[in-house]
Amino acid sequence: MKISDLNINSLIYLERYVNNGSPSGFTTKFTTSKGTSPFDLDVFFHPLICEAPKRFFKTYGYIPEITELNIDDDKGWIVVHPDMQDENIFKNEFIKLYESSDIKLVPTASGRTLMLINSSVKGYFKVHYSGIIGRIKRDLTHKKAISGPEISELFINLINQKKLDKRLTLLPETGSRTFINKEQKKEWGMIWRSFEPYNFNELETPYLVPFFSLFGKDRLNPNHPTLLEQIIEKKSVSPVKYIVDSLILPLIECYFSVLTNAGIQPEWHAQNLLLTLDKNFNPVQFVMRDLESMDKDITLIKQLNLNINFKSSPFKCIDETQYNYYIKHSFMYDYKLGEYILQPLIDFLVETYSAKPFEITKTIKAFVKPLLNQLPNNFFPKHWYVFESVLIDQSKKERPYVELSNPKFR
């Protein structure tokens, strides 16, 4: 994509096509069906709607009514991905599962987060997917479904109190709804996500870009330079200075701001972060999304004397009694942030501008050193941890961690 074509409405194109995929290599290997995949050329698809008496549903927070669906007042509903039409949970005489020709959804990079495009209400549905996307099943039980809106509310409160770094914002997840089949003891969730970032001003920051699109190649226009190349050329700035001073170091500082002010350990890989840019392509804010996958560090919350309780507990709650408590600290920072965002940015500088990677990592380590003092001693382990390049079996407590020496970014 050319930067001359960038605007708020180009986001969906960036999501789907200006995307190299995850470093794990599973992005295009395991995705949704043809016609619903982010990587296909289909413009949109019609979802399934599960409609049933309201007693089958549990709602948390706020989900707008979609008038185009014409749901009776005595009924509840959730959006269901078309790939899930044969699931047993919907087989009950009181349950109606049908394709809706009234609304159109567009897949985003995640495949099961779907943008609503033909309604007066703008936003996203994040839906349950019992198949594998990437390398795990994307089921959405009640505890999982309420976790994102719960963290969203926490972040908004902290932003309003000016307790988070001002360069941080989020795509609010305002509510969830779970379909519960008590006879089968099964749950099937849905999350509603706002279309615009919190406190977003399109006049001041007209560009909203997924992080992976900054250094990703355009699948439909492979000859186009990356967005970062075009921005650096347009601004006539030092590539290393622009990326290190405007992206890498502020992002790391924001990561520690979330840790120390919320006790939340962000999962900031390149799909979970977007960037707002002003008209001169200066980075303004980092936009968080997919909030439910963040770790709620109960031990850290107590050590920081924060008064936070989670209704989604024990989902994504970690504490020092767990075998992988310290490993998880490394995993989120060293692996998710480090290998999915920081390393690709450094690789881009090396490959495109012959930058010296050692000098960049040296700068990062020096910057991080005083930030580590804000955390309890030994918060990070001596080594750092990544995953093996395998599918994740979520039925097991153990994870395929690989221990490595000499952390790159601390």
Q: Tens of pLDDT along 121-161?
A: 999 999 999 888 776 678 999 999 999 999 999 999 999 99
Better-predicted residue by pLDDT, 32 or 258 = 258
Task: Give the number of other CB atoms < 10 A from CB of residue 32.
Answer: 22
- Looking at residue 399, its pLDDT comes to 78
Q: By the 8 A CB rule, do 127 and 83 touch? A: no
Better-predicted residue by pLDDT, 20 or 164 = 164
Average pLDDT of the residues in 86-111: 93
**Inside any domain, residue 384:** yes
> Quick one: pLDDT band at residue 26, thresholds 50, 70, 90?
low
Confidence check: pLDDT of 397 > 90 = no
Which secondary structure element, helix H or strand E, spans residue 105, and what is its range? strand 105-107
Q: Tens of pLDDT along 56-98?
A: 999 999 999 999 998 998 999 999 999 999 999 999 889 999 9
Confidence check: pLDDT of 395 > 70 = no
- Looking at residue 138, its pLDDT comes to 83
**Inside any domain, residue 409:** no
- Looking at residue 298, its pLDDT comes to 98
Confidence check: pLDDT of 30 > 80 = no
**Inside any domain, residue 310:** yes
Percent of all residues in the chain with a pLDDT value above 70, rounded to a whole number: 95
CA proximity to 88, closest of 75, 79, 97: 97
Confidence check: pLDDT of 174 > 70 = yes
**Inside any domain, residue 15:** no
**Owning domain of residue 248:** 3-10+20-404
Better-predicted residue by pLDDT, 203 or 289 = 289
Torsion angle defined by CA atoms of residues 109, 113, 114 and 116, in that order, rounded to the nearest 10 degrees: -120
Say which DSSP state 290 is in. Answer: -
- Looking at residue 261, its pLDDT comes to 96
Burial (CB count <10 Å: 0-12, 13-18, 19+), residue 55: exposed
CA distance 179 to 76: 9
**Inside any domain, residue 410:** no
CA distances to 41, 114, 169, 236, 341 from 276, rounded to whole Å, are: 26, 21, 10, 20, 16
Which pTM value belongs to this model? 0.94
Query: How many separate domains does the chain show?
Result: 1
- Looking at residue 22, its pLDDT comes to 72
**Inside any domain, residue 123:** yes
Within 8 A by CB and 6+ apart from 362, the residues are none
- Looking at residue 394, its pLDDT comes to 66
Better-predicted residue by pLDDT, 396 or 340 = 340
> Quick one: pLDDT band at residue 24, thresholds 50, 70, 90?
low
- Looking at residue 46, its pLDDT comes to 96
- CA angle 27–44–141, rounded 5-degree value: 60
CATH number where 382 lies: 1.10.510.40
Amino acid symbol at 40? D
Q: By the 8 A CB rule, do 268 and 254 touch? A: no
Quote the strand ranges of 182-282, DSSP E: 186-194, 207-210, 264-265, 273-277
Q: φ, ψ for residue 99 (rounded to 5)?
A: -75, 135
> Quick one: pLDDT band at residue 21, thresholds 50, 70, 90?
confident
Confidence check: pLDDT of 287 > 90 = yes
Percent of all residues in the chain with a pLDDT value above 90, rounded to a whole number: 85
Average pLDDT of the residues in 209-225: 95
> Quick one: pLDDT band at residue 393, thresholds 50, 70, 90?
low
Q: Tens of pLDDT along 40-56?
A: 889 999 999 999 999 99
> Quick one: pLDDT band at residue 398, thresholds 50, 70, 90?
confident
CA distance 176 to 326: 31
- Looking at residue 387, its pLDDT comes to 84
- Looking at residue 322, its pLDDT comes to 95
